[in-house]
Structure 1
């Protein structure tokens, strides 16, 4: 039976365990990765970080990959247990490793697993690099056979990456401001890697917290480990019933954040990131431009314009954003899906860091999130963003390609200012936009829109659907 082709998309390579994602495929991919590292390093010593999340078999997959690398005389460093990807990124940078492999399928169902490749900067590898890996896999696959051997155990090392990471976060967040505000915080670890990181840091600082779902569960409590409104209902109820000031959550890899206000309302990134950027500019005095994905809210651009900061747009996918952060001297990068990164020591998405920065902002202003957002929206009127997805059928795929190739469009009642092709096609209207793009991970086409009213946003969404019919 032929194996599915190994392809790296927006979130790395992912597959169904036992079908597409097998021990053979893992060993094959790891060997190809080792070949590329040895080609680029020459005679220099090579070190690589291997990490994994709380998914079923992730730790075992990581062990098999470590054995392959050790057989290739490559030093392997692994955390003492599953660890947040930002902590992994910091370890790669501090130990000057050549890269890393993380076993995770991000927000896919429990039956899936996958591989993400990180570069020497702790950031996701660019498509040009993962294409080299895909080609190397194809090259060695016909003759690849794994012979069970004992690897050199002296090449496999276990590393405490939690302590350096928590020390790093303590330098990035003013925990003393949060402590003085005497905030009551509920933390939802969502059965993921942030347990004993986010909750531990707050409690060790003397901040009153309650932690939920702070244990490993390969089935994630029957939910997908994503920081969305539906998955944080229990957190919302607990924030209200306990009289907490804020609820914080992270996804399985700790790269995305979720925030619930004191009323139990889920606060989307499109609402909170612009006020946070203003806080970082005016209070924290952070300098530089701003990077945002093509699907992120234009509230960020409004704040940037007001404070005379340049904005750079990237395709969806943090690998593009990490590259732009480094090349453009930006101080922050923001995705549309509750993910963001500061361009400091670790230019990596970090849900733990940004949850704490939002809490710090609230503590500094001594205002609840509802009050803070209300005051912000008086100066920057709110925008309403929405996203949906449709299955990429052959008919829709054809329609999508026709839309990309079409030279002119007429939208009755809408003033079309320009069209961008950064990722898919983005129509820029006066005070609004519509984006249609293919997912780089799963077989869907995503439609998203933003405007000054919920009704207008829904009308734009309908236009997007009709373009694919």
Structure 2
């Protein structure tokens, strides 16, 4: 058994499990959740999240009180430090020379998680200027939820704007998720990030494979996949579902709404460190700002905006909201015609004019999550407001 001598990213553990041909690995982390949700992430021999079959066997053994074999004398615990192989592998997947010469000005936000100063150290010998904020590990994450999206990234946006940097790169508590802030300090949402990276790996890098998205991802993804003739998989929410696809299929890129993005040629796993480097690869290759890249994306595939609200409501209330849509959906919502109601994961209401809203009870926290996408910010605001009013009908004290 080996134990790392410091807090370190989950994807590094996954990579080392596969490289060393280990039977598995364990990461103790709250991931992107509050500290109280600390738990075990089990990584299987193939370098990704344990499958439901593996997890079920572990739970069965725990419940039955089964104990492992008594360690033999040669099976003592070994304390080890990080190796270079993971970082050499990351460099081989991007145009490292182009990044090194790009003179990009970057702010990294590790959100007090185990991403630490890894990106800054990795880029130290390049022409890039890198500043890390919230790089010191803190098991309480400085009092915030370490999820790399707004409003948690407001402070990163302010540093990027004031420093005149090209981009802000964030990782979550265990560095398997990422968030991007543009040169103006504005959040580049995960739908835009996944879409831009899909275009980058297909057009600029010439990579091929299928595309995977979770149920709360953007309508942009199927539009791009259709244009290039790429097979598209849609999965329930949770990157583990994309990871399972990667065990059987070559996935060019796959992503979830909460900042998890992965590529089969790397690992059957999301990786915030790698995907942040891949985004730098995109900036260096294009010579454009984040804002220009998004405008080009919208011009070619259509403009879309997005919002998400995490509502602190009783689990029973959240489930009632989801079930109401399945059993008795209205014909109109937010003054738009309801075209369909999907139930792959929660209740997703497809509205006219390329809009939708999704109600889903969280699988990791006592929250009802409400997601919305539409072609304009005003449309998103109208539909989300209607969604919040809909939830309020199910409880007397409103929503928080």
**TM-score clears 0.5:** yes
- The alpha carbon displacement at 1:152 in A equals 4.5
1:371 paired residue number: 292
Residue number among 305, 325, 328 corresponding to 1:403 in the alignment: 325
2:121 paired residue number: 200
Change (3 A) 1:214 1:393: closer
1:6 paired residue number: none
Do structure 1's residue 80 and structure 2's residue 5 form an aligned pair?
A: yes
2:220 paired residue number: 299
Question: C-alpha separation between the residues in 2 aligned to 1:447 and 1:324?
Answer: 26
Whether the 8 Å CA contact 1:294–1:313 is kept in 2: the answer is yes
Residue number among 14, 17, 24 corresponding to 1:99 in the alignment: 24
2:262 paired residue number: 341
Question: C-alpha separation between the residues in 2 aligned to 1:115 and 1:385?
Answer: 31
Whether the 8 Å CA contact 1:87–1:162 is kept in 2: the answer is no
Question: C-alpha separation between the residues in 1 aligned to 2:133 and 2:298?
Answer: 32
Change (3 A) 1:280 1:336: same
Whether the 8 Å CA contact 1:78–1:158 is kept in 2: the answer is yes
Q: State the Cα deviation string for residues 305-355 of structure 1 (Å, max 9, x = none).
A: 121212111111111110012223221111101210011141211111111
Q: Name the stretch that deviates more: 295-304 or 157-166.
A: 157-166
Whether the 8 Å CA contact 1:126–1:320 is kept in 2: the answer is no
2:397 paired residue number: none
- The alpha carbon displacement at 1:252 in A equals 1.6
Whether the 8 Å CA contact 2:315–2:361 is kept in 1: the answer is no
2:192 paired residue number: 271
Which structure: larger Rg?
1
Q: Name the stretch that deviates more: 191-200 or 363-372.
A: 191-200
Do structure 1's residue 389 and structure 2's residue 310 form an aligned pair?
A: yes
Q: In the TM superposition, what are the counterparts of 1:300-339 in structure 2 within 5 Å? A: 300-339=221-260
- Other structure's SS at 1:344 match: coil
Residue number among 366, 372, 380 corresponding to 1:449 in the alignment: 372
1:19 paired residue number: none
2:384 paired residue number: 461
Change (3 A) 1:266 1:434: closer
1:426 paired residue number: 348
Question: C-alpha separation between the residues in 2 aligned to 1:102 and 1:151?
Answer: 24
Change (3 A) 1:395 1:249: closer
Q: Name the stretch that deviates more: 188-197 or 91-100.
A: 188-197
1:139 paired residue number: 64
2:155 paired residue number: 234
Q: State the Cα deviation string for residues 428-461 of structure 1 (Å, max 9, x = none).
A: 3341222222211122222212111223223333
- The alpha carbon displacement at 1:254 in A equals 0.8
Q: State the Cα deviation string for residues 42-94 of structure 1 (Å, max 9, x = none).
A: xxxxxxxxxxxxxxxxxxxxxxxxxxxxxxxxxx1222311111111100111
Change (3 A) 1:96 1:256: same
Q: In the TM superposition, what are the counterparts of 1:137-176 in structure 2 within 5 Å? A: 137-140=62-65, 152=73, 154-176=75-97
> For structure 1, which runs of at least 5 residues remain unmatched after alignment?
1-75
Residues paired across the two proteins, number: 388
TM score, norm. by length of structure 1: 0.76
> For structure 2, which runs of at least 5 residues remain unmatched after alignment?
395-400
- The alpha carbon displacement at 1:251 in A equals 1.2
Q: State the Cα deviation string for residues 182-215 of structure 1 (Å, max 9, x = none).
A: 1121222222212242111111344322222222
TM score, norm. by length of structure 2: 0.89
1:259 paired residue number: 180
